[in-house]
């Protein structure tokens, strides 16, 4: 049963610290998405990769957020420095192509104090 995995599942950190979230997409999927979910804003698309190339990261605050795919089995989302307003659940999703369904991971719940 192939699944998207995300680590860590929970992260509590202090303002100003660097946070790195990792995602392992389903083997064979060539599209990867990062989302953020908060009670106030709902689900927001942060970044979108296809074949490891970033195609759209316009939803991401560029000054502190960065997203990469060092290889086909790993996607990372980094926040540096973190701020309390970054507290949210961050989801990674992968798919076979842009029009196909996306499979979501369990999310990383981030709390920035």
Partner 1 sequence: LAKTTQPISMDSYEGQEVNITCSHNNIATNDYITWYQQFPSQGPRFIIQGYKTKVTNEVASLFIPADRKSSTLSLPRVSLSDTAVYYCLVGDWRNFNKFYFGSGTKLNVKP
Instruction: Please select the residue that binds partner 1; options are 66, 87, 103, 111, rule is CB under 8 A.
Output: 103
Tokens representing residue 94 in the block: 């992968």
Q: Is 12 in the site for partner 1 (CB under 8 A)?
A: no
CB nearer to partner 1: pick between 35 and 112: 35
What Cα–Cα distance (Å) separates residue 112 from each residue in 15, 23, 54, 84, 99?
6, 20, 26, 5, 34
Q: Taking contact as CB under 8 A, which single stretch among the options 11-19, 20-28, 61-69, 90-98 is the one that binds partner 1?
A: 90-98
Q: In the stretch 43-82, what mask flags binding to partner 1 with x, by CB under 8 A?
A: xxx--x------xx-xx-----------------------
Give which of 21, 25, 22, 23 is closest to 3, Cα–Cα. 25
Q: Which backbone phi and psi does 84 adopt, to 5 degrees? A: -55, -35
Peptide bond into 8 cis (omega under 30): yes
Residues engaged in binding partner 1 (CB under 8 A): 4, 31, 42-45, 48, 55-56, 58-59, 91, 93, 98-99, 101-107
């Amino acid at each position: 049963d192939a699944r998207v995995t995300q680590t860590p599942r929970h992260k509590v950190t202090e303002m100003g610290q660097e946070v790195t979230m990792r995602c392992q997409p389903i083997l064979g999927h060539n599209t990867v998405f990062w989302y953020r979910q908060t009670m106030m804003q709902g689900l927001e698309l942060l970044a979108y990769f296809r074949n490891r190339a970033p195609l759209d990261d316009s939803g991401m605050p560029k000054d502190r957020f960065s997203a990469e795919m060092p290889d086909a089995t790993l996607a990372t989302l980094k926040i540096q420095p973190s701020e309390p307003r970054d507290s949210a659940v961050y989801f990674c999703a992968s798919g076979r192509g842009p029009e196909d369904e996306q499979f979501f991971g369990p999310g990383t719940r981030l709390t920035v104090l």
